Structure 1
Amino acid sequence: MQREVPLHGWYGVRGAGLPAAVGFRAGCDSQDAPFLRLEGGGAGAGSPSRARYETEDSVGGSVVTTQLHGRDDELCTLREMIGRLPGTGGVLTVLGEPGIGKTTLLRAAVAAAEESGAVALETTGVEAEARVPFAGLHQLLRPVMAGVGRLPAPQRTALQSAFGVVDGPVPEVSMVAFAVLNLLAEAAEDAPLLLALDDAQWLDAPTQEALAFVARRVSRDPILVVAVLHKGHAGPFASLGAADLDLAGLDDSTARHVLAQEAGDLSLPVRERILREARGNPLALVELPVAWRDQREAAQQATPGFLPLTARLERAFAGRAAELPADSRDVLLVAAVDHADDLSEILAAASVLAGRTLTVEALDAAVAARLLRVEGLRLLFHHPLVRSAVQMSETLTRRLSANAALAEVLADEPYRRTWHLAQSIIGPDDDIADELVANRAISLRRGGTAMAAWELERSAQLTSDHAKRGRRLLLACEHAFGLGRADQVERLLRAAERSGLTMLDRARLEWLRELSDNGGPDDALRVPQLCETARESADEGDVQLALRLLLSAALRCWWADAGPDARAVVVSAVESLEGTENDPRRLAILAVAEPVLRGRAVHDWLSGTASAAYADVEGLRMLGMAAHAIGDPVRAVGLLSRAELTLREQGRLGLLSHTLILQIGHLLCTGDWERAATVSEEAHRTAGESARAIWSNAALVLEAVIRGLRGEVDEALGLAASVATTAHRGRLVHLLACVQLAKGAAFVATGRHAMAYDELCSLFDPDSPNYHQRANFDGVLLFAEAAVHSGHEEQARGVLADLEKVALVTPSPLLHTHLLYARAVLAEEQDAEHLFRTALAEDLSRWPLVRSKLELAYGTWLRRRRRVAESRTLLRSARATLELIGATGWAEQARAELRAAGERALSVAPAAHAVLSPHELQIARLATQGLSNREIGERLYLSPRTVGWHLYRIFPKLDITSRAQLASRLNPF
């Protein structure tokens, strides 16, 4: 017997351009596996006109000739990417609806990779297992876990803790991900790797995050990641930015050809209806005729298009399951609710469910119906939809009983036993609820935040005490927020509100609501509400919760500048908290809420010895935030850099992105423009991976400032415009001020001073929507220069007078240092030289931009008064510094002034930032510190091979041949 059907199973492959012969099981436990033969193509033949597959059914004795329609281009893409191994790696996502042929292409990729000498590592996501932390990752890595001993100790411990091999602290997903990257990179040294991820959208969340992290970093390693996922699913794989194969349905003529082979016995009207329902889906074209024959009467009565296609397919699978013998249905149901695929475990639980001992013979009918397949001692579903279809088709009582049966046979596995017990009952059960809460600690230790959130939510549902139920829902909400699941957060908060919350739990609810909404049009009203809730929390004894609430209130004042009354309320509230005088969070609240009025108190505390005592990362972050808020760049960089190092070691990417963003502006102030650019690039990347939108926008606008200062006008204006839209919508004044700063910087750096003045004026106008009392400190130097060169000196002197009053209140180093420049360039003729000399007499060693701008302005002033000899020394120094930090526009001005002073400026080699990307600069700088490729990779979450590849490109760009020469070509500041 022969027939042609669209390919939708798992097969081996033979053919030109693909493997000669690779077999594997497809629905039978026979050694004679089916195979596929590709015809057409091959060397010199170009793309095949079609891909033809042949399978041998060794069980039925029939030969099935299968044709894969409309996938020639996709097969060529797969072959090309595999052909690039081991030179380079890459990522390919295969998108499409269920049954469209994604798994088929993945199997072809696996076979092709293995034939080429690569090793295929495979894992498959299952919807019912999505809450089991790192289950998918463990399945993927089993063949290479022998190499775990070669990992650095922190990575090895993180990975083994995630898999439950050793007890240890809760592993950060990013640290586990980095361990996976290095484990795979080590394995790829022996043979290229193909990571085949089927139904990636159903992998557990930690596995998805870890593998997406790896996928973003394997372009220079011999590792190819092919991820198959359903179209429309959100998650890490959906936002990789990788190459996509978007599989559409078959065209009408092809679909009709396939259906004629599958449903020739059905009438024309029925076939037309199936064509409309299938919409070109190959699996539907095969399965829906079967469902029609099995349920002809019901199918004829159904309304066309009433159910979506995926539900149709699930109904088709469930209909076939309903016809099975009772024993097979019991096995099928237990397998559907089980998280494992262990055959003996499933049979044992099915025996409990059936009330008698079942043997492997109970599988026969389900295997024959192509619902299950056996691989060794594993029981697997032919298609993930079968699992959900079985559960949908069974009654609630049957599903509860199946979970109870599994719980009974899992007596020696209390973690899993509790999980199934929780799904075997309706109504409250405080004992099981408490056990679920205990399970949460195990899930967190394994990195399973999603599982912990589910356990807390289910525990709340089983809890009889209203107050305890509400608290558990709030804890679940915290985990959901950390996962970035806004819909789940809102649902849990609504459920918690309906519970009998204590006063402290109501305060926690307010804090959780605040976490997702810093800044907004109602900030002035919201701030005192948060402060009152904080006071109540402190009165109830939870001072730490009070501080959290007050920091949220302070951040509202920062982002939206809620006004003096709101700021005063925050300050009063935090200063009333006894015993918090040396708490870094208190200092951060004061600085963020009132950066001017409390600037002196914060500055004095930071300048004292107490600040040096903090070594924990949270304390360093808070102190760094305080220094940032009052405008103390030198101290902020020092504190935040220390926090950054620890966060990198811990792999905490969310907090790392925040810490990096806080440093960017201060690195510009202290002259480290190259590092500012590299930090900006990394901050934007990590913010996109793990942080909130407001921080991602902050990274973008600071990148715009960098681009502006370097004279990259179009790029700076484009980035600023993209942030302005969001900032205007949310009335986020701080971001709006930074947008104006970026535009002003771009225009000043390119000599368009009138345009710069117009943009920068609003920074200093309290009635402007762009006014922010602290953000304008960063614009003082630029504003003064724009005013001088555009004829607005008088207006600028009025602004300067107001700033001098502010300077009497706060000792902010940023403001006072910028005022040194502004006073000198805006001075009357008779006062200018004194003010230039006074400014340059200050210690500006950590302020190279301000110093060099002062030297340029003073040198220009001297030259124009024919004091040429004096001017040259200043202009030479200014030119050298401006070239080194990358201020190319101002460096050219210094060279022009030197030429006008009669000196020909010496040519210099291009600055490193001009020839290297920010990422390359970051790697080069770490290499100058004597770090090995592996150590650099550990800092930047890259494999050693990728680091080596970057250095291979860096050396010729800098015209050097060794690491020893790097230091002489990089920024010395």
Structure 2
Amino acid sequence: MGDRGGATSLVGDAGIGKSTLLHAAAQHAEDLGFAVIDTAGVASERTLPLAGLHQLLMPVLGKLDTLAPAQRRVLLTAFGMHDGPPPELFLIALAALNLLSEAASERPLLLVVDDVQWLDEPSETVLTFVARRVGRDPIAVLGAFRPGHDGPFATAGFPELIVRGLGEDAARQVLAANAADLGSTAQEEILRTSLGNPLALVELPAAWRAAGAPATRGGAQIPALTARLERTFAGRLPVLPQLTRDLLLIAALATRDELPEILAAASTLAGVSATVEDLEPAVRARLVQLDPVRISFCHPLIRSAVELSESLGRRLAAHGALAGAVGADAYRRTWHRAHSIVGTDDGVADELDAGHTVALSRGSVISAIWALERSAELTVDSARRGRRRLLAAEHAFGLGRPEIIGRLITAVAHDEPSAMEAARVELLRETLNEVPPGDTARVLRLCESARDAHRAGDTSLALDLLNVAALRCWWADTGAQSRAEVARALDELDEAVADPRHLAALACAEPILRGAEVCGRLARLEPESIDDPAALRLIGTAAHAVGDQVRAAAYLDRAENLLRERGQMGLLPLVLGVQCAVRLDLGDWARIDAALAEGRRIAAETDQPFWGDGQIINEARLVGLRGDLDRAFDLADQSFAHPIFSASNVVLACAQLARGYALLSAGRHSEAFDAFVIAFDPASSSFHPRERIAAVMFVAETARHAGRFAEGREIIEQLEQVAQLTPAPMLRLHLQYARAVLAEDFEAESRFQTALAAPELMRWPWVRARTELAFGTWLRRQRRSSESRAYLRSAAIVFDAIGAGAWSRLAAAELRAAGERPRIAPRDSPLAVLSPQELQIATLAARGLSNREIGEQLFLSHRTVGSHLYRTFPKLGITTRAQLSDRLNTTPPASGTASSPE
């Protein structure tokens, strides 16, 4: 493995040998000098927040003092060992990563996790987070799970080792060692039934001897084999003493494997004192193993066999006994009480309702949802039952779990919801994608629900409903009537004008007709005065919607920084997605590649596939402008074929622009013009009233090069009328460019000078460079070469700086034609030699951030950051950290920083 890490999944059926392989790997790792930390998921702990992670990190908790104080507090709070506000799950994950990285600094580390499918969901999410990021640390992760598991570790794309049954020869050897006393007929029957499963080859002979019954002929299916093995283990239970069976039942249902707790609960269940000696019959039967303080089952199937062999009444009584034995842990006590009841119990329901906040405080939203849902099942009053289900559904909304939302809001419908609760259901229903985005009736229904909520006094809910209604108007063409209705409903919320949701909804519903109002309100909002990243995202989205990209960048950049500081990864893919579009328009291309990759990765980690797929269209536009024709068309085609995006005008408009960009970059001007024209046709599915603005200067340029001046001017005249309705900076600058490019020679110069004199143009380097290129080209063709060179030179420098290779080459060709040898962009420029992530890390280091601070920003261990920088320095031809700023052309920090990558 060297100094690098990685993760591997072992996938196989119960009894196939995964645990044996993990044990062998752990033993081999120890022989090589690794430290080994192992744990296993337990089915009964799946709703206990972070139970699996706590067990996994137990051996290294002594190193907590090596962490930054904030990260130390995060872990202690998550494990209920420190009071504090609920930590973000990904802050917990980052703290766990750094803790393990510190442990691995002494010697390589192997994490072994068996039965991943039974980890509680937050623990599996953290494990996956860690496993994705150990590539630069000497940490290996091995996780084993059964086929069909679809949790984050299973879907992360780690290399998989499929553990299959033994071949016939090996199976016969195992069988011979365990069934030598059985006849050949019995052995052949067991051989067929086992399907090469090692556990079956060991355990079925014993079952045959005990029962004398033949195995299923013809070979069992895997589920049937698993059930048969469970029955085999269950067959050993009746001969055990009753007190031993009580102890096994308690151990099977317990959420911890601590012997004192299990002995106390078993004593309550049995009504007599239980001791360790009472477990000896189970040890001799190879059902459990003991150490001085813990008990463990020899195989997970034994645990499930014990549960299945007992009656419902016995299981309920066992949970009741455990509730009385867990000591001061109120959450676990309530959890067991909830499992000890059939029917309703308002007292326990209230405890669960109160206890769901404990789950939230430990970063486990999924456990909070379970607590609320079970609380609802135990509640007598239907109204309170519905409120609890609705709250659970809203938590599921925050997680992006439509399958849970659908189940819960279906149940709420039977709980007599109030008008306001019905409005909340309408909001939640939006996550289910039951209605196409362009459905006008749905928009009007949401507006009516918003009015209901407002009349009931819930302005916040009204704003949420109008936001989703406005987003429907943004994503697809719902018609002028629905857009106007959303705006009217917003106008009725006088008291909410200062709320960012109001601004965002107005901008998305009516970006043109209400653009002036939105721009005016944006001008009064300073990004640095706002500390809520969700609010900043909404304001940035509003600015983007009305074409004020400079303000959008300011709001979104601050939102991104705050989200990183606070570990709120859930919103990052949304912010990064809009940022990419904004940076593309402005000319900040160097940061887009890293944002695209990070946006996709975090969208996958936070289970937001929509936002991961949404980066397709940003990449399509970027590669189109860079001149990669095939890639741009391929990505555009993916958007047109996407099951959701294919019904979205805004996405299809951007896909059409990507095609036009690529054709223009390739010099195919007439085809490019035809591609752009589609985006200006209201009858086309690729028409979007706002996104067409991004094509104004391109349609003008292609019209000029293709000699289609009249068609181009007709389109520009339409946009001149739009400009009377909105002061959008993007539209104003694009129109100035278009007027100059399509002007007759006698007025072209004055129009170019007007365009270049626009004071805000300096903050739009892409538009400025294109204007300079067009003006310089015009001057050269007017035989004014000496005047043209300054404009062409400036354009070439900007194109080089932002990575617009196709445009840089065009500017260089024009400059040569004007009689000047263009400056050749260095082949070792940071954009050329660094990966997107290396550039991202180097840029932050150049700003003066320490490795720990960079790690916290990018959700990496500080050792991984140091490793990246160590490899970056030689690529950039530098030897000290202080040289980064000059090499990357970034502003140096106010104070000195360490000179080494570390």
* Length-normalised TM-score, structure 1: 0.88
SS at 1:579 equivalent? helix
SS at 2:720 equivalent? helix
- Asked if structure 2 preserves the Cα contact closer than 8 Å seen for 1:611 and 1:623, the reply is no
CA deviation vs aligned residue, 1:635-669 (integer Å, no higher than 9, x gap): 01101111111111111111111111111111122
Aligned mate of 2:505, from 585, 589, 597 = 589
Q: Is 1:310 aligned with 2:226?
A: yes
Cα distance, 1:664–1:691 mapped onto 2, change above 3 Å: farther
- Asked if structure 1 preserves the Cα contact closer than 8 Å seen for 2:437 and 2:475, the reply is no
CA deviation vs aligned residue, 1:837-887 (integer Å, no higher than 9, x gap): 110111211011111111111111111121111111111111111111111
Per the alignment, residue 863 of structure 1 pairs with: 780
Q: CA–CA distance in 1 between the matches of 2:697 and 2:183?
A: 82
Using the TM superposition, give the Cα deviation of residue 522 of structure 1 relative to its aligned residue in structure 2, in angstroms: 5.5
Using the TM superposition, give the Cα deviation of residue 346 of structure 1 relative to its aligned residue in structure 2, in angstroms: 0.7
- Asked if structure 2 preserves the Cα contact closer than 8 Å seen for 1:331 and 1:363, the reply is yes
SS at 1:226 equivalent? strand
Cα distance, 1:530–1:138 mapped onto 2, change above 3 Å: same
Using the TM superposition, give the Cα deviation of residue 971 of structure 1 relative to its aligned residue in structure 2, in angstroms: 5.8
- Please give the residue correspondences for 1:507-906 in structure 2 after superposition, counting only pairs within 5 Å: 507-517=423-433, 520=436, 523-608=439-524, 613-726=529-642, 730-843=646-759, 844-906=761-823
Per the alignment, residue 919 of structure 1 pairs with: 837
Aligned residues: 889
Using the TM superposition, give the Cα deviation of residue 959 of structure 1 relative to its aligned residue in structure 2, in angstroms: 2.6
- Please give the residue correspondences for 1:160-179 in structure 2 after superposition, counting only pairs within 5 Å: 160-179=76-95
Farther off after superposition, 645-654 or 741-750: 741-750
Using the TM superposition, give the Cα deviation of residue 601 of structure 1 relative to its aligned residue in structure 2, in angstroms: 0.6
Per the alignment, residue 60 of structure 1 pairs with: none
Q: CA–CA distance in 2 between the matches of 1:583 and 1:255?
A: 69
Farther off after superposition, 834-843 or 781-790: 781-790
Aligned sequence identity (%)? 51
Q: CA–CA distance in 2 between the matches of 1:305 and 1:690?
A: 35
Given residue 566 of structure 1, which amino acid in structure 2 is its aligned partner? S
Given residue 252 of structure 1, which amino acid in structure 2 is its aligned partner? E
Cα distance, 1:357–1:502 mapped onto 2, change above 3 Å: same
Per the alignment, residue 223 of structure 1 pairs with: 139
Q: CA–CA distance in 2 between the matches of 1:105 and 1:327?
A: 34
- Asked if structure 2 preserves the Cα contact closer than 8 Å seen for 1:158 and 1:175, the reply is yes
SS at 1:592 equivalent? helix
SS at 1:410 equivalent? coil
- Asked if structure 2 preserves the Cα contact closer than 8 Å seen for 1:524 and 1:563, the reply is yes
- Asked if structure 1 preserves the Cα contact closer than 8 Å seen for 2:346 and 2:379, the reply is yes
Per the alignment, residue 941 of structure 1 pairs with: 859
Using the TM superposition, give the Cα deviation of residue 191 of structure 1 relative to its aligned residue in structure 2, in angstroms: 1.4
- Asked if structure 1 preserves the Cα contact closer than 8 Å seen for 2:847 and 2:890, the reply is no
- Asked if structure 2 preserves the Cα contact closer than 8 Å seen for 1:727 and 1:736, the reply is no
SS at 2:344 equivalent? coil
Q: CA–CA distance in 1 between the matches of 2:340 and 2:644?
A: 51
Per the alignment, residue 952 of structure 1 pairs with: 870
Using the TM superposition, give the Cα deviation of residue 516 of structure 1 relative to its aligned residue in structure 2, in angstroms: 3.8
SS at 2:714 equivalent? helix
- Asked if structure 2 preserves the Cα contact closer than 8 Å seen for 1:88 and 1:219, the reply is yes
Q: CA–CA distance in 1 between the matches of 2:23 and 2:872?
A: 39
Using the TM superposition, give the Cα deviation of residue 266 of structure 1 relative to its aligned residue in structure 2, in angstroms: 4.3
Q: Is 1:361 aligned with 2:361?
A: no
SS at 1:845 equivalent? helix
Cα distance, 1:132–1:752 mapped onto 2, change above 3 Å: same
Per the alignment, residue 61 of structure 1 pairs with: none
SS at 2:84 equivalent? coil
Cα distance, 1:874–1:233 mapped onto 2, change above 3 Å: same
- Asked if structure 2 preserves the Cα contact closer than 8 Å seen for 1:519 and 1:555, the reply is no
Q: CA–CA distance in 2 between the matches of 1:270 and 1:598?
A: 82
Per the alignment, residue 75 of structure 2 pairs with: 159
Q: CA–CA distance in 1 between the matches of 2:800 and 2:242?
A: 81
Structure 1: any 5+ residue segments left out of the alignment?
A: 1-83
Farther off after superposition, 751-760 or 225-234: 751-760
Using the TM superposition, give the Cα deviation of residue 267 of structure 1 relative to its aligned residue in structure 2, in angstroms: 5.0
Q: CA–CA distance in 1 between the matches of 2:578 and 2:111?
A: 37
Per the alignment, residue 250 of structure 1 pairs with: 166
Q: CA–CA distance in 1 between the matches of 2:643 and 2:544?
A: 21
Cα distance, 1:314–1:776 mapped onto 2, change above 3 Å: farther
- Asked if structure 2 preserves the Cα contact closer than 8 Å seen for 1:324 and 1:365, the reply is yes
Per the alignment, residue 366 of structure 2 pairs with: 450
Q: Is 1:414 aligned with 2:330?
A: yes
Using the TM superposition, give the Cα deviation of residue 612 of structure 1 relative to its aligned residue in structure 2, in angstroms: 6.4
Given residue 52 of structure 2, which amino acid in structure 1 is its aligned partner? G
Given residue 896 of structure 1, which amino acid in structure 2 is its aligned partner? A
SS at 2:316 equivalent? helix
CA RMSD of superposed structures (Å): 2.1
SS at 1:232 equivalent? coil
- Asked if structure 2 preserves the Cα contact closer than 8 Å seen for 1:96 and 1:231, the reply is yes
Q: CA–CA distance in 2 between the matches of 1:272 and 1:443?
A: 52
Q: CA–CA distance in 1 between the matches of 2:547 and 2:611?
A: 19
Cα distance, 1:719–1:465 mapped onto 2, change above 3 Å: same
SS at 2:495 equivalent? coil
Cα distance, 1:337–1:955 mapped onto 2, change above 3 Å: same
- Asked if structure 2 preserves the Cα contact closer than 8 Å seen for 1:605 and 1:611, the reply is no
Q: CA–CA distance in 1 between the matches of 2:238 and 2:684?
A: 70
Q: CA–CA distance in 2 between the matches of 1:822 and 1:173?
A: 49
- Please give the residue correspondences for 1:131-530 in structure 2 after superposition, counting only pairs within 5 Å: 131-266=47-182, 268=184, 270-297=186-213, 305=221, 308-410=224-326, 412-517=328-433, 520=436, 523-530=439-446
SS at 2:307 equivalent? helix
Cα distance, 1:225–1:795 mapped onto 2, change above 3 Å: same
SS at 2:685 equivalent? coil
CA deviation vs aligned residue, 1:659-701 (integer Å, no higher than 9, x gap): 1111111112222110122222211211122152322222221
- Asked if structure 2 preserves the Cα contact closer than 8 Å seen for 1:519 and 1:559, the reply is no
- Asked if structure 1 preserves the Cα contact closer than 8 Å seen for 2:435 and 2:442, the reply is no
- Asked if structure 1 preserves the Cα contact closer than 8 Å seen for 2:320 and 2:337, the reply is yes
Cα distance, 1:306–1:870 mapped onto 2, change above 3 Å: closer
Q: CA–CA distance in 1 between the matches of 2:177 and 2:46?
A: 37
Given residue 909 of structure 1, which amino acid in structure 2 is its aligned partner? P
CA deviation vs aligned residue, 1:13-59 (integer Å, no higher than 9, x gap): xxxxxxxxxxxxxxxxxxxxxxxxxxxxxxxxxxxxxxxxxxxxxxx
Farther off after superposition, 286-295 or 392-401: 286-295
SS at 1:237 equivalent? coil
Q: CA–CA distance in 2 between the matches of 1:581 and 1:486?
A: 31
Q: CA–CA distance in 2 between the matches of 1:131 and 1:338?
A: 12
Per the alignment, residue 20 of structure 1 pairs with: none
SS at 1:91 equivalent? strand
- Asked if structure 2 preserves the Cα contact closer than 8 Å seen for 1:780 and 1:822, the reply is yes
- Asked if structure 2 preserves the Cα contact closer than 8 Å seen for 1:727 and 1:733, the reply is no
SS at 2:496 equivalent? coil
Per the alignment, residue 10 of structure 2 pairs with: 94
SS at 1:92 equivalent? strand
